[in-house]
Amino acid sequence: MSDKDILFLLPPGFEDNDRREFCPECAEMWGVLHYYPAIKEAVDIRYVGISHPRDPICEVLGEGRWNAPTLILSPTHEELVDAPRANGVAYLGSAREIAKYFAVRFGIAVPRGS
């Protein structure tokens, strides 16, 4: 596994429910990356499709785990937070938890209400 954390996101626009949509939590992550562009360089960002299962995430975490956004923590950084594990891998599965982790790891502001 890489020394970089892996951030799985849905693309900014995709077709679903017979219309173009976006994922609000993924958009929240893009907002954080826009505020703090150095994080974008330090994280491996990978897009996944809207259809289930999302194989790239399942390959790491196992069947039934395909939420996006999901951050796979590098073994180098996994001790920074108390994260759930699947298949022996630490991960965070919500925009708010990922942003709180970025605050610890990169010293950025914490999300309001955390």
**In this predicted model, what pLDDT tens digit does every residue of 33-67 receive, in sequence order?**
999 999 999 999 999 989 888 999 999 999 988 89
- 37, part of any domain: yes
Can you say whether the dihedral through the CA atoms of 58, 63, 69, 75 is positive or negative? negative
Contacts 24+ apart (CB under 8 A), 77-85: 77/5, 77/105, 80/104, 80/105
Per-residue tokens: 19: 């219309």
Round to whole Å and give the CA distance between 68 and 18: 20
**How many residues are listed for the chain in this entry?**
114
Pair of tokens at residue 58: 């399942």
Domain contains 25: yes
**pTM score above 0.85:** yes
Task: Show the domain range for 47.
Answer: 5-106
- Is 22 or 51 the better-scoring residue by pLDDT? 22
**Cβ contact 47:9 at 8 Å:** yes
User: Number of structural domains, the chain?
Assistant: 1
pLDDT of amino acid 33 = 97
